[in-house]
Amino acid sequence: MTVKRTKKTSPPPSSRKSKSSDTAATSTTSRISKGTVSAIVVILALSYDNFRLRYNASHSASSDRSLSSKEEEVKLRYKTWEEAPASYEEFDHDNDPSVCRLPIVTVEEWEKARMWEGEIPVIVKNVTDGWKALEHWTKEELLRRYPDVVVGMGNSKDLGQTGPDQAGKALTRTTIYDYVVNWMHSSNKYVFDRNLRLPGGGFLEDCHPYPMPTRMHEEDPDLLYESGMPENLMWKDHMALTIGHDTQGLTFHRHNAAWNAVVFGAKRWILYDAERISNITRLKTMSRDIRNPIQLDTANWIRRLYNKDDRKYEIRNYGHDCVQRAGEMMFVPRGWAHMVLNIGDTVAVVSERGLDGVN
């Protein structure tokens, strides 16, 4: 019986190579797996950090709105306060002593003589020197830094008749950005907000150093408590922002002692002696035309009534007619009737609390 031997064959070379490669790959994978995983973790961490930094920068840039980035969306009628119309020719004057009749003093003179304790108005020069507001409240910077700050706006004549605090529903809540871009030069709306709170205290910080006696409340509040001043009369971060266009301003009104510092623009003031107008009938006669007893806005009062009847005589003998420039502060004692007129776009800050009874 013949037995056929079967020839043992070896696996093909390619098969041997494949198995060898599989074994090598498995070995290599086991050798580098730990290092690979570590490297991947590092790469992913770096990628995430880079993404986070890029996102934060992008998010910050979008939230920090600048005027230049909005120019294509919103065309401002006037890019700066100074470019807007200003009725200097009609309403400005040079503060002739026979017309203004007020002391115009330096900050040093104001503080040395403690002139806030007096009973006559005073103009103080260079009060805003050193204020950050000179840079932060240009139109571009104000819109970039404080676009979403909510303020109250209303008709300037209504604000003069009722006062900003009592205006109530006459005030419309809006933002600084919305007011400046959409309302300021297309309506008679005027910002006069006593309840202003800018983020991070920026509003108050922009107005350092405060003029006296407001600075006294900040520097030594304990002394004021010891003086016996009622707490409701003490100054506590109480400041008001006013923004308005040319010829706007509050009509005749009275209140506690206050100071008003112009940062940009100018204001014309008509002030009337507190004792002289203690008779309410005289005040009404001064502020309105008795033949047409509708209270005019400040610009038309000057145009139509200033030179009529005895008003000019009264103002020149028992009152004051003055122009306040940028950088100056007007101090008005308690009870003085006054009306104010903006000359050009005007931005100012006002403090009306804590001035009465300071010794």
pLDDT digits (tens, 9 = 90+) for 288-311: 887 877 778 899 999 999 999 889
Given phi > 0 = left and psi -120 to 50 = alpha, else beta, which region is 352? alpha
Q: How confident is residue 21, by pLDDT bands cut at 50, 70 and 90? A: very low
Q: What is the pLDDT of residue 229?
A: 66
- Please state, in angstroms and rounded to a whole number, the distance separating the CA atoms of residues 167 and 171: 6
Residue 210 has pLDDT above 50, yes or no: yes
Does the global pTM surpass 0.85?
no
Question: Tokens 């571009």 belong to which residue?
Answer: 140
Q: How confident is residue 176, by pLDDT bands cut at 50, 70 and 90? A: very high
